[in-house]
Each structure stands twice: as structure tokens, then as C-alpha cells.
Structure 1
Amino acid sequence: MNFEEKTWTKRVKGGHQVTHPLSDAAIDLLKALPGFDRRKNDDLLFPNQEFGQLGNWNRSKLQLQEISSVGDWHRHDLRRTGATILTLFGIPPKSSMHCFRIRTRLRNRRSVRPCTATQSSRRK
């Protein structure tokens, strides 16, 4: 995170780095995190309990499924849901897909429409 330039740079597959701009609201939210005023520049924003890198995603996902009583989903579903929500807010699909690094076979289409409730029920 570069709070002065209001950007977030992350490593992605293939050893590449992607930099995303951050809104003022995102900056304010991050600065409100517990312990933010004591953090160093290279500290993780969302560390594990030992202040290291998050890991064991499967165990965390299973705990979340148990707590929420919502199962039968995968972590990748959260990316697709986020991309759909951004599209509903008017963000161009190409931009949201870039944010989440989503690759799709629909790449050559001019637009990707969000799934409607009717379409969703047909898939079950």
C-alpha cells in the first residue's frame, strides 16, 4: 500500500505486479484498522494471529461456512460475486475483471451482463 499515492500494488500469477488506485474512502477505512498508527511500511494490513501472512484458506473458509450456515461455495465464487456487484454499480466489466484478475472465455465480447435471478434459477 502506498498511502501517499493512494495505490495498492500486489503480486499476481506469473510473477507480475498490478497496481490499483485506492479511493479516499478505502484509505480512510484502512487507516481505521486497529494498530494502524503503529504499523511499519512493510507490515501486512491483514496478518494472521502471529502477524504473518494469511494461510490455510480452506480451514478459514470451512469455519466461515459453519458460522454463516451457508455452504457449497468456493473462494473463487467471491471474486465472481464481487465482479458482478461492480458491474451492477456501473463499473465496466473489463475494469472489474482486471481488478480481480479474472480471465474468461467471453473476452472477445463487448460486454458481460450480470446473471439475473431467472438465469440463476435455471442453472440449479
Structure 2
Amino acid sequence: MSNDSVRNEFIEEQVKIKYDRMLHPPLSYLGNAFKYRTADGKFNSAMNPHLGQAGAPYAKTVPAKTHPLGALPDLGDLFDRLMAREENGRPSQSGLSSMLIYHATIIIHDIFRTNDND
């Protein structure tokens, strides 16, 4: 067996272990209306079914208590500063990026719980 195939098997097993340990969205017991998020974003939350819906304020259910001071930072600069790797950073021993876990979370919460007809 080559090193590449051993490495690939190891990575696949690590991804499976991490996926199995993740919290998956709970099934809805509130009926078919809440089974899936609709194409316009409704029913992501049974407590507030219109939160996240198209045309609704983004993640705002209460008025802000503070107001932003001055101009917001450049998004490209902010991304570069947050996502930059230090020069002396060391690679993960597993060869997996932690970003894979974040991406998997998006997949299991949005893609797996979306009606195929939408």
C-alpha cells in the first residue's frame, strides 16, 4: 500500500469520525410546515418561523442598543487579516483544515434539511 492511499484512508476515517461527532439539526416534530426550510428562508426556527425569510431584517428581532461608530472596515482586508496563516504556522497533523468542519456544519444544517423540490 502506498503512502498516498494510507493517507487518504486516514483522512476519510477522520472526516467520518468528526462528522459522526457533530451535532446534527434535530428533526422537527411540529408537522410538515416545519420539516424543511422553504426556498425563501422561512421555517428555519420553529419559535420564529419568519426569521431569516427573504425580505425580513437579517438576524434582527430587536432594535440595536448601540450604533456603529464611523466607517466599517474593508471586507477584503478583514478577510485577509482573519484568515491569514502565520509564517511559522504548522500544518495540521491530520492534513485537514478546520474550515472543513465549518463547511460541514453549513452542509448538515442547510443542505441536508432542504426540501428536494425547492
Q: TM-score range by the shorter chain?
A: under 0.3
TM-score by length of 2: 0.25
TM-score under structure 1 normalisation?
0.25
Between Structure 1 and Structure 2, the one with more helix by share is 1
Please tell me whether Structure 1 or Structure 2 has the larger radius of gyration of its CA atoms.
Answer: 2
Larger RCO (CA within 8 A; separation ≥ 6): 2
- By percentage of residues, which structure has more strand? 1
